[in-house]
Amino acid sequence: MSRFRLPMIPASDEVSWTSKINNVDFSTTIASNSILLDVLRNKGGSLGTKRGCDLGTCGCCTVLVDGIPKLSCLTMAKEVEGSKITTVEGLSLGHHLHPIQETFAEYGGSQCGFCTPGFLVVISALLDENPNPNDHEIKTAIEGNLCRCTGYQQIIDSVKAASEIMLNNVKIEDSTSPKSDPHPGFNN
Amino acid sequence: MSNDDEMVGYRQQPGKLPFSRPGSGGKNQFSELRDIQLIPESQGGKKHQPKGDHRHDPLISGTSIGKSTALVDSKWKVTGKANYGDDIRLSNELIGKIVRSPHHYARVLSIDISKAVELEGVIAIATGADAQNSFGVLPVTKDEHAMAIEKTRHKGDLVACVAAIDEITALEAVRLIEVEYEVLDSIHDMRKGLDDSEYPIHDRGQYHIGESNVQKRVFQEFGNIGEMIPNSVANHKSNWLFAGVNHGFTEPHAVVADWDPSGRLTLYTPQQVPHYVHRALADVLEIPMHQINVYRTFVGGGFGGKSDPFPHEMCAAILARKSGRPVRITFDREEVFWVNRGRHPSRIEMDIHADSDGRLCGVQTDALIDGGAFASFGHVTTYYNGVLHTAPYELGAFHYTGARVWTNKPASGAMRGHGAVNSRCAVEVGLDDIAEQLSVDPITLRLANLLPPFSATITGFRITSIGMRECLEKVKKASNWDKKFRQLPLGHGIGIGCGFFISGSGLPIHWDPNKFPHATVHLKIDMDGGVTIHTGAADIGQGSDTVVAQSVAEVLGLPLDMIRVRSRETDTSPVDLGSYSSRVTFMNANAAISAAMEIRKDLLKAASIITETEIEKLVIGDRRIFDKQDPAIGVSYLEALHKAQEDRGALTSSGSYRTPPMGRAHKGAAAGLAPAYSFSAYVAEVKVDMETGQTKVLEVWAAHDCGKALNPLSVKGQIIGSCHMGLGQVLSEEMKYSRGGDLLNPDLLDYKIPSIHEMPKVNPIIVESNDLEGPFGAKEAGEGPLLPILPAVCNAVYDASGIRVNELPITGDRLYKEIEKKCKILKISNPLNLPNPSLIHSDLQTVLESRASKHSERDLERILSEEKTPYHNGALFGMNPEVPGDEQDSRWEIRVIPDDQYLSNPRLAGSAWRHVERRKRND
Ligand code: FES
Ligand code: FES
């Protein structure tokens, strides 16, 4: 019982492993049979990549490998050795959120938020390829991701809003910019 | 203030700040004038109040309430910075793993840990012997242990646990622990749970029901059903079988336990109800509660499935104590199904009777529910299966028998719509059938039988606001019902279903003595002007932090970026009962409002001193306090705050909420009692493939009365999310057990949660009935919206195919079997030639329509009148509305214990009453 989350492939010794995680060169040693999700969470500093099922059924663990969405729970780390890996942590530019991150917050795409990282990386890949997707294209893109909270509708709203932002090149504010003044004057 | 003289006749030049203040600066340097469209009429604004005034009207500043608002913690979630259970990584941590029983029911004869101890990297092992005390979410049924003490009660039950330096070592250690079992006869069919058994699954010590596995039984009779039934001209009878379903939250359970050097325990856990874990930990670890800090991490979905104190949480604490190091236990998806606490598999018999006036003269329900191995919330669930369908309709008589049995399955528990979902489905499908028998429109039938506002249900629940009528009318219109119902071609149908749910439970589970408030919120504001809210309300993704923040922001006239919510730790938050029974918005927002009102008073007083204006003339707007008549006479929020702080430093306040006295006195009267109730009506349109039995839901119109949508974005999100979850239960989700009792699908591949492709378009319709006691008028929106989707789909499937399926989920093969059966009976070879249900209105239709419109006037009058005359259920049947039925007619006496006549021929769950209740074993 409950043992399938271990790799079935026997491990040889620790091997060295390098990749580029969120644009930063990363190297470490891993057991040769390590699963990418474990490496990312335990060593790669990406706790944002979530584990929901281990069976390729929920999509929470999705990351981009060289720009293409992959379920990291079903990916052997060795397979993607040397690749460019993007996780949810790599979507924003400093404190400037990616439009889809901004709209997920704004349009209710995220409730409990556990499925969110998976959705975000998949959608960012979609928008990179097709900044103006129609309903069908959006649905097809996220068909591998389960969300138990939102019923998907507000996720689709978020994607559309993000697409709008990207098409119109709207600038997203730096989240560290000053907040409201508690001592305002008044307009007549 | 540096110089009081300057303040005399304080008048601020437009756009000019007299001086900057410490802590000031930032964006939006001008205050927005109050938008009179957002200020209620009662306060001189222009916001129309068709439902009358509300006691919170004077607090409206137009800042936040009613505006679609992003969740205050959403930025964490979208950046991957939100830390859920398994994301808590403490240095030097160990990984915990659990030894689980491979048998359904077994005595644990011995546990040999000698080999595991030898394994390098194993630091601690614990077994049942390490924690003898029992616990459970309800104080009356503490029937769980951290690990098996004597017996394991279901496959996957905990036997021992291990902490090791890494996962692989821990798993290897689990393998090396040798447990000797004596396998006992297990039961898997809930009907067997009613029988006497040689080894009842639980020995309840002082109190038990015969030698059976009946954990709880309920008998209730309101009104004289025997006299009512002979009047009936339409009778519905059905036998339902509901499969068990799991919450299916995306985050598997995870917990981290850490004892700090001072000897205090911090337990990091994604919990809906930290307070109950807090109590259970103290019991199990035998330490006082103040030695424990329960830290609620981000919660990756709860839906009721993270509201019990769990054995693995105890295990982590025990292992961490033994090893002296932090221990993290994370479940895989299979383990999530082993702890379960999902919706009870249920067998429900539903009888509904209607008389020639189209009144519902009797409802008889018998519900047998399969509790699995532990009691969990079972007491409550057993009641809820009955009492929560006594509204929104006026009933002639109500009879309910319910029983919850223990079986050797993973425990059932509370799940979104707790206890109300299955029986509600049965009632609403029954009404559809009654309408068909009477040849009337099912929506009209409902509209003509609704309880009015400010009334009492047959069980004595106090109904305050009720937006049911508006919900029905709105979905009817939006879905174009009159053009579609019974008029769509075979294989295409439309159906209606309604819902009724509690908005917070009137009786707190754990208040002994019953003196504490239900919810408490603390506020702290210091010279920086930011407001810190301390609340114990558990945000599980539903947005409770946001609603509490919005409430405070509204009262103080502040933007949300000046509010921060601290709701994670029991060390810092006031005790809160947690996120269940849809209580958080109603109770916590109410508590937050009272806390904010205190601060508001201080600010107004300070502003009044500075401006030399009477308090009565001052209002709070966007970060400013000013004279209603002349906005130039006023001060900024920060000025007022600093003035108020002069003598006492930081402003702090505490607000709390408790329910008013309500309800009746019979046994079980408190179950289902709530300070307010939500109502909803959904219409679903489906396509049924008559040749495969496959059902596809095309569109849903979902109207929900949430009193007042504090955050419409969240309310809509809850409605759509509820539809999604309910659609899963009605069409695809099912915990499947083999004949031998093995759970066949403990994974998300075979347990089918709807994906984007199964999800129809949902049109959420918010109905605002403006509850007088709710915060700004609000009621719940988290659970109630789930109820109507099941019956709406069932009824739509009938409209499409002429077939009533009484077994959920309605999978393709199930429906096709029924289609085949019907073809055989009607001797039709091609299912595409089956007759389609049709409707020609009888004379009763106009009678009902005119009653509905009269009632609609009556309802509005009752809402607007100052004097609320009592209205007790039964008036529709000619009783005096001023007094409860049983007080005017002895035949209406409330009975909670069956008589011999009933026992001579009990129904299924009712047969639980054959057993003699014993207060002491073996006497
Ligand atoms: S964890 Fe990879 S798909 Fe669920
Ligand atoms: S937001 Fe909770 S699972 Fe998607």
> Tens digit of pLDDT for each residue in B559-615?
999 999 999 999 999 999 889 999 999 999 999 999 999 999 999 999 999 999 999
User: Among the atoms of ligand 1, which is closest to the Cα of residue A62?
Assistant: 2
Segment B241-255 mean pLDDT:
98
Reading the block at residue B168, the tokens are 């692989």
What's the length of chain B? Answer: 923
Ligand nearest to the CA of B86: 1
- Judge: A112–B249 Cβ closer than 8 Å, yes or no: yes
C-alpha distances in Å from residue A97, one per residue of A145, A166, A174, B340, B916:
22, 12, 8, 37, 65
- Alpha-carbon distance of B919 to B48, in angstroms, equals 59
- Ligand 2 centre to CA of B301 (Å) is 7
- Alpha-carbon distance of B540 to B492, in angstroms, equals 38
Cis amide linkage into residue B22, ω under 30° from 0 = no
**Which run of H or E residues covers position A32?**
none
Instruction: Give the residue among B861, B841, B833, B725 at the shortest CA–CA distance from B786.
Output: B725
Q: Using a 6 Å cutoff on CB, does residue A166 contact ligand 1?
A: no
Instruction: Give the residue among B76, B216, B754, B11 at the shortest CA–CA distance from A105.
Output: B76
Query: What are the pLDDT digits (tens) for B770-810?
Result: 999 999 999 999 999 999 999 999 999 999 999 999 999 99
Residue B767, number of CB atoms within 10 A of its CB = 23
Query: What are the pLDDT digits (tens) for A8-50?
Result: 667 777 899 999 999 999 999 999 999 999 999 999 999 999 9
- Alpha-carbon distance of B558 to B529, in angstroms, equals 10
Q: Are B105 and B200 in contact (CB under 8 A)?
A: no
- Judge: B29–A6 Cβ closer than 8 Å, yes or no: no
Q: Using a 6 Å cutoff on CB, does residue A152 contact ligand 2?
A: no
Q: What is the pLDDT of residue A8?
A: 66
Q: Are B262 and B396 in contact (CB under 8 A)?
A: no
Segment B735-739 mean pLDDT:
95
A:B CB pairs within 8 Å? 274
Residue B7 pLDDT greater than 50, yes or no: no
One-letter amino acid at A123 equals I
Confidence grade of residue B6 (pLDDT, cut at 50, 70, 90): very low
- Alpha-carbon distance of B67 to B712, in angstroms, equals 7
Domains annotated for chain B, with CATH where assigned, are 41-81+517-657 (3.30.365.10), 92-184+250-301+306-339 (3.90.1170.50)
- Judge: A186–B624 Cβ closer than 8 Å, yes or no: yes
Residue B919 pLDDT greater than 90, yes or no: no
Helices B637-645 and B589-611 sit at what angle, rounded to 10 degrees?
90
Q: What is the pLDDT of residue B2?
A: 43
Query: What are the pLDDT digits (tens) for B331-375?
Result: 999 999 999 999 999 999 999 999 999 999 999 999 999 999 999
Q: Which residues of A touch B25 (CB under 8 A)?
A: 178, 181, 183
pTM (whole model) above 0.95:
yes
Q: Are A49 and A87 in contact (CB under 8 A)?
A: yes
3-class secondary-structure state, position B147? coil
Q: Are B260 and B319 in contact (CB under 8 A)?
A: no
Contacts for B197 with CB less than 8 Å, ≥ 6 apart: B187, B211, B212, B213
- Alpha-carbon distance of B465 to A86, in angstroms, equals 51
Q: What is the pLDDT of residue B163?
A: 98
Q: What is the pLDDT of residue B646?
A: 95
Q: Are B452 and B858 in contact (CB under 8 A)?
A: yes
- Ligand 2 centre to CA of A146 (Å) is 8
Looking at the partner chain, which of A87, A101, A146 has a beta carbon nearest the beta carbon of B755?
A146
Higher pLDDT, residue A55 or B702 = B702
Strands A68-71 and A62-65, by their bridges, are antiparallel
Asked if the ipTM is above 0.90, the reply is yes
- Judge: B720–A153 Cβ closer than 8 Å, yes or no: yes
Query: Given ligand 2 and candidates A115, A142, A154, A156, which is best to mutate, with the most ligand atoms within 8 Å of its CB?
Result: A115
Q: Which residues of A touch B713 (CB under 8 A)?
A: 107-108, 154
Domains annotated for chain A, with CATH where assigned, are 14-87 (3.10.20.30), 99-167 (1.10.150.120)
- Alpha-carbon distance of A142 to B483, in angstroms, equals 35
- Ligand 1 centre to CA of B854 (Å) is 56
Strands B519-525 and B695-705, by their bridges, are unpaired
Q: Using a 6 Å cutoff on CB, does residue B541 contact ligand 2?
A: yes
The least confident of A81-85, A151-155, B21-25, B676-680 is: B21-25
Residue B674 pLDDT greater than 70, yes or no: yes
Residue A2, number of CB atoms within 10 A of its CB = 18
**Chain A: closest CA distance from residue B120 (Å):** 18
Q: Tokens 């997707």 correspond to what residue?
A: A133
- Alpha-carbon distance of A122 to A162, in angstroms, equals 13
Instruction: Give the residue among B415, B343, B252 at the shortest CA–CA distance from B735.
Output: B343
- Alpha-carbon distance of B881 to A97, in angstroms, equals 60
- Alpha-carbon distance of B425 to B603, in angstroms, equals 51
Cis amide linkage into residue B392, ω under 30° from 0 = yes
Confidence grade of residue B9 (pLDDT, cut at 50, 70, 90): low
Q: Are B692 and B773 in contact (CB under 8 A)?
A: no
- Alpha-carbon distance of B726 to B609, in angstroms, equals 56
Cis amide linkage into residue B513, ω under 30° from 0 = yes
